[in-house]
A and B are shown apart, each in its own frame.
Chain A
């Protein structure tokens, strides 16, 4: 399916098969430790992990309905790379992911589904529901500057207003060094961009 759009004519190409096989192995390794032992954690998923998952749910739904299977395959590759980078082995992510890959790779999905402890076929599972709120950025990693010089980064919820941001930044332990013996004259706050504190 990764050869290209289904309705277009395309050349036979075995290179794509190797790429797909590498992907399947990478997918498999999400569920396994270095010793190839099945290893899935029950910790709750983080926001970035959920975001990666829900972005894929949307892409897969749209892609399959419009018969753009090749775009779903590449979305899968992106998601699996992201999860691998985050070293995510959480059931909350991997279980729905197993269901989602089952139309494309039914054998590996069935194997992982049973390893996850299920006793019926993955065929009878339910496709995970898409939750748009999981895909929106709910925090932003602000660069915090003092007198225009960037000193550190700070993750803050995007729902905070200017006053709350100011309070949070000034209270941060990293700020102490730059505030020492100085007075805050002004705080410039641009939502989802920067926080600059003018001291003197």
Chain B
């Protein structure tokens, strides 16, 4: 052996470890460079093939930068909180920390074998108190902050309180759950509890009712991607939509900055587009519709205020708070039935299934604020509560979902936009709506003749003048739900007094995860932490029993690598001034709308409160592709089809001097081949089948004056194998006018299954692919002996080979590329 890699690799790994070759410290004589991998969730399965792909890429880059004179920060750690360890704990009673530790050790061992240049002295684990102290600390800062829209920055909540004391909400321009209005005197007159409730409307980490995917079987809230077809992906338990009090992060306050920041980072356009769509900024108008005969305002958000004249009905989300109030007694039963039926569909399903039209009429009518027309109000689950106001004005002529709804329920359709230079037509003849945004207004009073863009502006002006609407920006982005009813996560440093949540003092951090006897929710449906003994503050106030979600620990881990052992601060000013943000981030693109949004939010917040010197965490990002699996097939011959194909090759194209036709039919009689000139009928089949038909078919042939030849497939197979030409000779004899026995009874075909090599001519016509264990296939060539031993039914397998370029018999398999399991960590 010339290069003894096993020995040499071990030797140098030891050397690197002993001499701490990869340890880095702040060094102001050199420029810094920060190369980061998305840290893995340590699953029980060990590293996946996709992990090293990204890690090797970052390793090359980090080593290269170091050779180029940079001081390179290249750390690794573990996203250690996750559901699998908790599920395992519920089943076996093993503490998730034990499972996690074991898995981490395995990951480390595997990574060490590859020889990465990580500075392991900087390792972080999100489940360690020394780490999650800062996750909790950041939560407290969020809890104690609000967002000022004017200065586009997070500010301490104390400033807001001071402002309320001075002038109440007058002229307030801040991020809020809903607009509130009170004077300084009213604020001062409020009880402490009332004030706390008011502040929840502004805090960046706040508690509020939210529609969630509640899974009673698992006893927890699930994220949209953890639900499919109304069932939990894990366990398959029913999931229902339910309004619950949840911790949330006011990420929507940062929507505009999250959009603008994308222009400053070097990421792929596809990931940027995913984020832009996820944030989903749209300019539009909020319009007030009165409910006929009632003193109720229905607020609607629309991006197409120009189409108000074409509004023919309104639709509310089934969970809209006004549904109960406006539904007439006659329609109540129908509406309630509809609400129950649609309750358990996730938002994703509701948005995806646009073709299934369903809905119920409430019996109430809205009044068009411009035309005064009466518009029937329906409920339907294609309208989502979280987007806009949960109510829409339907314009069936110019929106495909409204069009489908109107067509299904026979509601009127009015055209208000036409292509320039054309005339309006009768919408009842249309097959689809006209959704284009470049057009000219018709049937719209004072908007007639204007372009869509101009008409939107004109209509907003009119609405504002009449006091029935305002121009408004809307986002698709929602605040992030931040609590889970699970054990294996960060506890909230929150206690309850008089039913209101209060922040614990920073000196109490880390608030460590308590030991509990069982890891599942309590019998009364409370989170597992409710089982903890003495889960109260020193003063005896109960501590929050929810825990934080998986993304809490992964949203700011890159900061902690800069100063991982600091127990006074998240990270020092000095460390952050030097290392700043990540220069190159490598990981999967599937985190585009999860981890990569939360991290940016986290970073912007830390920037606002003066901790981070940069407001984007990852300057350049590369998303590695998927490693795909390759599956192989062997082609199993259908014997009858194979033999038919073989015989056809002998007789087609006048090879025997006469013309044969395929598939001859006469009434219910069918034969494989027929020669009209000589009157020859040929049928190829299994012996057993031929025996059954020999008599009637002979009678038929005699009657018509045809000659009949029945060929058992074993004859063809034998011809193939032995190179004899018995079948061909029989047909030649018939063509020559000689008598040939119709059929010779003999042995049936008892051979094992027959497989044909991929490139043999006609193979597609007489074979079907079967999956083959890829360990028996090398360069697409099958190890036939291993194949025979693979399964009992294959032990007699026979093969028709092809020749390789050296003339050897080989059996070639087909192959197909498919996605291997998702390699990504659970960020």
Interface string of A9-52 (1 = CB under 8 A from B): 11111010000000011001100100010000000000000000
Interface footprint category on B: 35 or more
Contact present for B5 and A1 (CB under 8 Å): no
Contact present for B2 and A106 (CB under 8 Å): no
Contact present for B60 and A69 (CB under 8 Å): yes
Is the CB of A149 closer than 8 A to any CB of chain B?
Answer: no
Q: Which A residues are CB-close (under 8 A) to B820?
A: 12
Q: Which A residues are CB-close (under 8 A) to B12?
A: 106-107, 110-111
Which partner residue on chain A sits nearest B11 by CB separation?
A111
Is the CB of A125 closer than 8 A to any CB of chain B?
Answer: yes
Q: A6-B57, A11-B628, A25-B2 are in contact. Are A64 and B115 (CB under 8 A)?
A: no
Contact present for B63 and A103 (CB under 8 Å): yes
Is the CB of B340 closer than 8 A to any CB of chain A?
Answer: no
Q: Which B residues are CB-close (under 8 A) to A126?
A: 67-69
Contact present for B3 and A28 (CB under 8 Å): yes
B437-445, B508-516, B617-625: which lies at the A interface? Answer: B617-625
Q: State which residues 1-47 of B face A: CB under 8 Å.
A: 2-3, 5, 8-9, 11-13, 15-16, 19, 21-22
Closest chain A CB from B174 CB (angstroms)? 41
Q: Report the bound CA distance from A28 to B64 in whole Å.
A: 21
Contact present for A1 and B60 (CB under 8 Å): yes
Contact present for A121 and B19 (CB under 8 Å): yes
Q: Which A residues are CB-close (under 8 A) to B419?
A: none
Contact present for B60 and A64 (CB under 8 Å): yes
Is the CB of B626 closer than 8 A to any CB of chain A?
Answer: yes
Q: State which residues 90-144 of A face B: CB under 8 Å.
A: 99, 102-104, 106-108, 110-111, 121, 123-127
Contact present for A29 and B5 (CB under 8 Å): no
Q: Report the bound CA distance from A25 to B3 in whole Å.
A: 6
Is the CB of B770 closer than 8 A to any CB of chain A?
Answer: no
Contact present for B21 and A123 (CB under 8 Å): yes
Identify the interface centre among B11, B63, B69, B779: most chain A CB within 10 Å of its CB.
B63
Is the CB of B592 closer than 8 A to any CB of chain A?
Answer: no
Contact present for B67 and A64 (CB under 8 Å): no
Contact present for A121 and B622 (CB under 8 Å): no
Q: B9, B66, B68: which contacts A123 (Cβ < 8 A)? A: B66
Q: Which A residues are CB-close (under 8 A) to B19?
A: 121
Q: B64, B69, B624: which contacts A64 (Cβ < 8 A)? A: B64
Contact present for B22 and A10 (CB under 8 Å): no
Q: State which residues 52-71 of B face A: CB under 8 Å.
A: 53, 56-57, 59-61, 63-64, 66-69
Which partner residue on chain A sits nearest B9 by CB separation?
A107
Q: Which A residues are CB-close (under 8 A) to B627?
A: 3, 9-12
Q: Which A residues are CB-close (under 8 A) to B779?
A: 15
Q: Which A residues are CB-close (under 8 A) to B2?
A: 25, 28-29, 32, 36
A-B CB proximity, top 10 nearest: A103-B63, A9-B625, A127-B67, A9-B626, A28-B3, A103-B60, A110-B12, A107-B9, A8-B625, A103-B64
Beyond the given A6-B622, A69-B57, A123-B22, please list 17 additional residue pairs across the A-B interface where CB-CB is below 8 A. A1-B56, A6-B625, A7-B624, A12-B49, A25-B2, A28-B2, A64-B61, A67-B61, A69-B60, A103-B61, A103-B63, A107-B5, A107-B9, A107-B115, A108-B3, A110-B15, A126-B68
Q: List 13 A-B contacts (CB under 8 A).
A: A6-B57, A7-B625, A12-B628, A64-B64, A67-B622, A99-B67, A103-B61, A106-B117, A107-B5, A107-B115, A111-B11, A123-B63, A123-B66
